[in-house]
A and B are shown apart, each in its own frame.
Chain A
Amino acid sequence: MATLAGAQTTPYAGANVWRAILEWLTTVDHKKIGIMYLWTAGAFGLVGMAFSLVMRTELAQTGTIISAETYNSIFTMHGSVMIFLFLLPVGAAFMNYSMPLQIGALDMAFPRINALSFWIFLFGGVLLTLSFAVEGGTASAGWTAYPPVTLDTGNNAEPPGAGMDMWLVGVILLGQASIFGSVNFLVTIFKMRAPGMTMWRLPLFTWTTLVTGLLILLSTPVLAAALVLGFIDRNGAGGAFFDPAAGGQPLLWQNLFWFYSHPAVYIMILPAMGIVSDVFGVFTRRPVFGYRSMVLALVAIGLLGFIVWAHHMFTTGGVFLPFFMGATFLIAVPTGVKMFNWIATMWRGSNIFPTAMLFSVGFLMLFLIGGITGVFHAAVPVDFALHDTYFVVGHFHYTMSIAATFGFLAGCYYWFPKMFGKFMNEGLGKLHFWLVFIGVNLVFFTQLLLGLDGMPRRINDYVDNPGWELMNMLITIGAFVSAAGMMVFLYNVFYSLKWGERAGSDPWEGTTLEWATTSPPPPHNFDSLPEIRSERPLFDLRFGEKLQDDPHYHVSNGHNGGGGAKTPSASAREEG
């Protein structure tokens, strides 16, 4: 009865909590959905990190601590969680939260589908997680799930159990969530821009959202097809799409899988690239260098990303090597263009280095190593040596995993004041940055060396060749240093939510529209919008007059959208 009495004494507060919970559960507000994506993905990211620590503990020395089955399950779930439940949804979180604000929209084009997409994602994530509880445990054939080891072919010594089916269905759901999201992003960008927000004035983060949306829309259905075929192979009578003993083609899966998953690595990295582009623009007080070539490079990467999938299959003996080698080499060009543009943005800039900027510079340094090691893989004969060794593991962590994470962390520090009205603590932020930066380089640079020396990936124990044990120990130490850094980050999040310094509507002297409204923004986002005459409307407002005589400073005079630019959201609401 005590609780009841308690409830009676403060009926109002209790009702409020329930109302708040209900509000979050039923919300269709893109900002709330974005924040829910962020929390959920962040939690999954911590889970994925915990898995990586288990693996690194096992590999610190030769010999085994956990069984091979457990190790295989853990590395599989590490990859699956990190990709499907951390990197993809974190991207979705920021695209949801910031993109509509950046284009001056009220919300997404289809707010309810947006909510649906979050809940499907959550359901898929829960399904993947629950597979720990079923007999036979989780899927354990890597996040790539190459058949026939995933199938019960009669030849396979240890066919996986229900966990594999849960993985297939879970990933289908996650893909569906992505597809819903992408349609929403695309329609929102095409249809909901504020007056004056022409395509060539879109902030770069919005451009990356657009290209990412296209990539998701065009590639995810192919993955879904592969997953459905895999599910039929495992459960249907017949099928036999991938089972060679029944006339199927194991390489077919690899083609379908990478037709999605190569674009998917760009789906993960492009939003991070968008974030660092915006961050560089703000903290240098310069226009992002080569804005149009940035957009073209983005589109080029998106297009090329669709014709390089088989570079993951160079050693299968089933690939026309010269074509995929050439296309893969070519991708280095637009990637390089972006790198040089970012550097040129800082060149002669009036640069300051808050944590968001540190992570963006860290992103450049990591991505540089990632891109260069990518060229090693593109050279097919060299890839014959490096494929499926720790060199690949180092390469794709430097690019997709760690560089992307750095971009997203920059996004956290950058948009946290907008989301919650408070700054994240800068001191803790810098500690976080240095711990993680040193940690991940220790981990992944050492992995490159180990891979050169021939240590294969996905093994739970290794022969003690000279130096291997030492290198593995260093990697494990690096992993724990990075994890310590992430603990600092976690602490910082909760610390700042409670005690963080209050931030005004535009704490960074931002350049794009999300800074033109309160922090956090009202449900309808904007009370009024400034005039949009370039890709930096707030910069124009703040410094436009001072820069009038600068020959390099350009804004267009026309409004391009008629006279309604003053308070589009208010008028839109009246009309609606």
Chain B
Amino acid sequence: MTAFQRLWRTRFGRLTLVMGAAALALLAFSGLTSAQVALPEAVSEQGDSIRTLYFIVFAIGVIVFIIVEAMILWVVFRYKRKSDDELPTQIGHNTTAEILWTGIPTVIVVILFFVSFFVLQDIQAAADPDEEVTIVDVQGRQWAWAFNYAVPLGTELAESMSADLAETEIHLEDPSLVVPFMTLKMGVEHMRVVARTGDVVTVERAVNGTVAIRHSAGSEIMRVFNGTDTVAEGRLQAADNTPIVTVPVGQMIRFNIASADVLHAFYTPQFLTKLDAVPGRVQTLWVRITDTGDFQSQCAEFCGRDHARMIYTVRALSMAEYDAWFEDKAGDAPEPVEGDFGGEEEVEMEEGAIGNPANGQNLFFSLGCNVCHGDSGEGLVGPTIAMTVVPLDRVIQQYREPLEAMTEFTPDQVSDEEIADIYAWLQSVERPHPADEIPSKLAELIEAGG
């Protein structure tokens, strides 16, 4: 008789063998898959706290699992019917045991509640009021992310105003600092400048601007710029360009999370946390990052067709590198513009075609073109289209039967005339980069004389 058989003969031996085999299988399994039974290493202070809590819960869970699983295996292996007329004990309850197995779990979950509660307080704590913080306005959209930053405009709100209208007029102490298409920020709200007549600046709520807040005179006004970089190398089919949000290490970061359309969720696994982007709300996630590096992240709330492709990267830089990046991105303040602009007047296009660029600009934003092509058509996830050299009929065709990953637009959604308006506006914006980024297939078509 082998040792194995001898062991198998006793009930306790069988139990040990079964448990041992299961443990070995699990070990082999996690070795094979290189899986960890832990959350990822955190790269933020808050994530560290969450990970500690995870290990507490995990330890309790494993202990409970082993005890209860052993009990199950024990009763299964130990108590078998030996003869047909065997009658076991009819003990139907035991008050002591029942109090114990109600009481002990209660104590455990009450302790877990308090531990979790304090960790929750800790990770949700805002920055100290006098502490310097980095603010990033995160916009989720089907199916891309935009990361906006803001710098002071250099002027203040002159009169109190209520922002609960889609389009509203504001008075600034120095309205000349406002230039066409600029996005302003008051509190957490974004407002795009539509027109200016004399002292009156007409603004329209942009993506973050869906909360009605009263702003009082003297409120600080910021100028918003899109700080989204992109990584070119593809990591998923059809997600070749993933947006990057750049942030500093060491400082408290306040992510203001908003959505332009449906639900999304801002989820960076190495922060060990996530927060939904709920249309109509601006929500705050506080993170203090501890390590530099690129951290792959992804939308975590189902948001329609290309949910799986809403990937982004968090790029954490040292404070000095971040400052340099920020300077560079923010650029110089725009030159003040005298006189009026915007409104409804028609602008003549270069090749004689007529369109209404003001309307085109509105459409460009309301249709969401800016998400992929950038706020002034400079190119983001999608190619540069400012001052495009593609002829108008080709552009219309691109709307109707998109090449590459663009969304299709039917004539019901945007008419040919409206596309001409957008086209007119695109001709009027300044082209930031040389004209080298026409989409490849479009370029081929143009060369082929199509």
Binding site for B on A (CB under 8 A): 62-64, 68-69, 72, 141-142, 146-149, 153, 155-158, 244-245, 249-251, 284-293, 315-318, 321-322, 325-326, 329-330, 332-333, 336-337, 339-340, 343-344, 346-353, 361, 364-365, 368-369, 372-373, 375-376, 378-382, 384-385, 387-389, 446, 449-450, 452-454, 456, 458-463, 465-467, 470-471, 474, 543, 546-547, 550, 552-554
Contact = CB atoms under 8 A, between A and B. Distances in A.
A366 B37 CA distance: 18
Interface in B105-129: 105-106, 109-110, 112-113, 115-117, 119-120, 123
B35 A149 contact: no
A456 B307 CA distance: 10
A452 B38 CA distance: 6
B86 interface: yes
A450 B29 CA distance: 13
Interface string B267-290: 101001111101111010000000
A379 B37 contact: no
B63 to A, nearest CB: 10
Contacts of A146: 263, 301-302
15 contacts: A141-B304, A146-B301, A157-B305, A250-B279, A286-B90, A343-B68, A346-B79, A349-B79, A368-B69, A381-B49, A382-B116, A387-B274, A388-B300, A446-B33, A463-B236
B32 A290 contact: no
Interface of B: 30, 32-40, 49-50, 53-54, 57-58, 60-61, 64-65, 68-69, 71-72, 75-76, 79-82, 86-94, 97-98, 101-102, 105-106, 109-110, 112-113, 115-117, 119-120, 123, 142-143, 210, 235-237, 260-263, 265, 267, 269, 272-276, 278-281, 283, 296, 298-309, 311, 368, 407
Nearest to A471: B33
Contacts of A149: 262-263, 302-304
A379 B53 CA distance: 8
Contact of B113 (A141, A329, A547): A329
A293 B93 contact: yes
**Nearest 4 A/B pairs, CB to CB:** A454-B269, A244-B280, A459-B308, A346-B75
Contact of B298 (A349, A456, A466): A456
Contacts of A336: 101-102, 105
B88 A284 contact: yes
B78 to A, nearest CB: 8
B363 to A, nearest CB: 13
Contact of A375 (B57, B273, B304): B57
A329 B112 contact: yes
A230 B175 CA distance: 44
A562 B326 CA distance: 88
Contacts of B54: 376, 379, 382, 385
Contacts of B142: 156-158
Contacts of A550: 89-90
A337 B102 contact: yes
Contacts of B89: 286, 348, 550, 552
Contact of B109 (A153, A375, A380): A375
A118 to B, nearest CB: 33
A157 B109 contact: no
Contact of B65 (A351, A368, A449, A467): A368
A348 B88 contact: yes
Contact of B88 (A64, A349, A361): A349
Nearest to A551: B90
Contacts of A381: 49-50, 53, 116, 119-120, 123, 273
A453 B263 contact: no
Contacts of B64: 372
B35 A141 contact: no
Name which of A155, A291, A322, A382 has the most chain B CB atoms within 10 A of its CB.
A382
Contact of B120 (A148, A321, A474): A321
B281 A318 contact: yes
A470 B32 contact: yes
Nearest to B277: A317
Contact of A351 (B57, B80, B263, B368): B80
Contacts of A452: 35-40
Contact of A157 (B123, B296, B407): B407
A564 to B, nearest CB: 28
A278 B102 CA distance: 22
A155 B87 contact: no
Contacts of A376: 54, 57-58, 61
Nearest to A369: B65
Name which of B87, B106, B302 has the most chain A CB atoms within 10 A of its CB.
B302
B260 to A, nearest CB: 7
A308 to B, nearest CB: 13
Contact of B262 (A156, A318, A329, A361): A156
Contacts of A378: 109, 112, 116
B69 to A, nearest CB: 6
Nearest to B267: A456
Given A365-B69, A449-B36, A289 B123 contact: no
A155 B262 contact: yes
Contacts of B87: 285, 350, 543, 546-547
A244 B210 contact: yes
A350 B276 contact: no
Given A452-B36, A458-B307, A543-B87, A332 B92 contact: no
Contacts of B119: 381
Contact of B236 (A148, A292, A461): A461
Contact of A350 (B32, B53, B81, B309): B81
B35 A467 contact: yes
Contacts of B76: 346, 351, 353, 361
Given A453-B269, A459-B307, 18 more contacts: A148-B261, A158-B305, A286-B88, A317-B281, A336-B101, A353-B80, A379-B116, A381-B49, A381-B116, A384-B274, A387-B300, A454-B267, A456-B299, A458-B308, A461-B308, A463-B236, A467-B34, A467-B35
Contacts of B88: 284-286, 348-350
A519 B34 CA distance: 53
A333 B106 CA distance: 6
Contact of B306 (A68, A249, A364, A385): A68
Given A348-B79, A380-B116, A343 B279 contact: no
Nearest to B26: A445
Contact of A333 (B60, B98, B109): B109
A546 B88 CA distance: 12
Given A68-B308, A375-B57, A375-B61, A332 B109 contact: yes
Given A333-B109, A344-B97, A317 B53 contact: no
A112 to B, nearest CB: 40
Nearest to A153: B261
B272 A384 contact: yes
B310 to A, nearest CB: 9
A552 B92 contact: yes
A375 B82 CA distance: 39
Nearest to A464: B235
A316 B269 contact: no
B276 A290 contact: no
Contacts of B37: 449, 452
Contacts of A293: 93, 98, 102
Contacts of A460: 308
Nearest to A151: B262
A463 B261 contact: no
Nearest to B88: A350
A446 B26 CA distance: 10
B117 A325 contact: yes
Contacts of A290: 92-94, 98
Contacts of B35: 446, 449-450, 452-453, 467, 471
B302 A142 contact: yes
Contacts of A318: 278, 281
A369 B69 CA distance: 10
Nearest to A247: B280
A424 B237 CA distance: 48
